[in-house]
Amino acid sequence: MKQALVFDIGGTKIAAAIVRSNGEIVTTFKTSTHSELGPEALIHELIRIGKELTKNLSIDVIGISSAGPLDPIKGHLINPTNLKTDGKKNWGLVDLVTPIKDAFQKPTLLENDAAAAVIGELWMGDLGSAQSILSITLGTGVGIGAIVEGKLQRCRQGFHPEVSHIPIHALEKLAPCGCGNFGCIEAFLSGVNFPQYYALKTGKQPFSGKEFLEKAIQKDDYALNGFIHYSELMAFAINSLAVIYSPEVIVFSGSFSEAFPFFADNTKRYLEHLLKQRRAGLDFLPTLKLSKIKDHAGLLGVARMAFHLPQRH
């Protein structure tokens, strides 16, 4: 049975694992990303982690899932939105594949984390017979991947569609996005951005995403009212995505998806209103679900792609 060394690089954390071709996760590892140290430090850290995980385990392929934008054909990161030196300096083009491939002498695949997550959900998630699905990963950013009738959706040159930068309110100056614009889906709905936006909107002290969620669990009115507003924004986002992809199921993962119980029902009610003219013939109203594989979606997905897709590098 083949084994893959896989990485999932986000704005806050790096996850790594050894995954078998039957979907079994043999071992895992997590650490902070520390993107403020720059791309060379990230590459050194990936190699260090990989060497540690493969001390006593053989691997056949390597898969790297990363926050984008990125070029999966050339294996380059391209000014990734949530990876910046000292929190503000863009990385430019970063060849991530070549040094990893050279260090391990194994075929190496780079993929957008949202694409990897939706592949992971289709492979190992609890989605029944659905073949048209959307994965929304809520973390430092917002990753959105789509599969329509069993096919991963791409744009030109094999790039991943950066649909998390579709605007909800393009003129909302309280919601700046890392892409340089305002009011994007990511600018409102990520676990980092929403608490900051809501604090500015209400004139309150900002909290981290974790603190905001904890307050909701404690039935704090500020947080509970915040999630009502979050639900409305999520519905606006899904309305746009639904008319593009018409998914049967939307599955949520990532650290901030733990807030699912606080936004899911209201989001569905808003969606029923927004999509009321799109229910006949082809029903555009999707089922909303919380991922069963959660933080492992990207790791499993990029392993699947490394095992089964033609090697690009």
**CATH code, domain carrying 215:** 3.30.420.40
Cβ burial of 292 (10 Å; 0-12, 13-18, 19+) is middle
List the end-to-end C-alpha distance of the chain, in Å, as a whole number: 22
Decide if pLDDT at 32 tops 80: yes
- Is residue 14 domain-shared with residue 73, that is, in the same domain? yes
d(CA 162, CA 159): 9
Return the pLDDT at 313. Answer: 43
Cβ burial of 1 (10 Å; 0-12, 13-18, 19+) is exposed
- Residue showing tokens 């893959």: 4
- Is residue 70 domain-shared with residue 157, that is, in the same domain? no
d(CA 276, CA 189): 23
pLDDT (tens digit per residue) in 73-132: 999 999 888 788 876 678 889 999 999 999 999 999 999 999 999 999 999 999 999 999
- Is residue 104 domain-shared with residue 179, that is, in the same domain? no
Bridge-partner residues for 156, per DSSP? none
Give domain status of residue 124, yes or no.
no
Domain of 61, in residue numbers: 3-116+296-308
Give domain status of residue 282, yes or no.
yes
H or E stretch at 127:
none
Return the pLDDT at 310. Answer: 58
* Spatial CB neighbours of 294, under 8 Å, sequence gap ≥ 6: 253, 254, 257
- Is residue 192 domain-shared with residue 60, that is, in the same domain? no
Specify the pTM: 0.93
Return the pLDDT at 103. Answer: 98
Confidence of residue 309 (pLDDT cuts 50, 70, 90): low
Decide if pLDDT at 312 tops 50: no
The whole-chain average pLDDT of the chain stands at 95
Give domain status of residue 236, yes or no.
yes
CB atoms under 10 Å from CB of 108, counted, come to 24
Give domain status of residue 180, yes or no.
yes
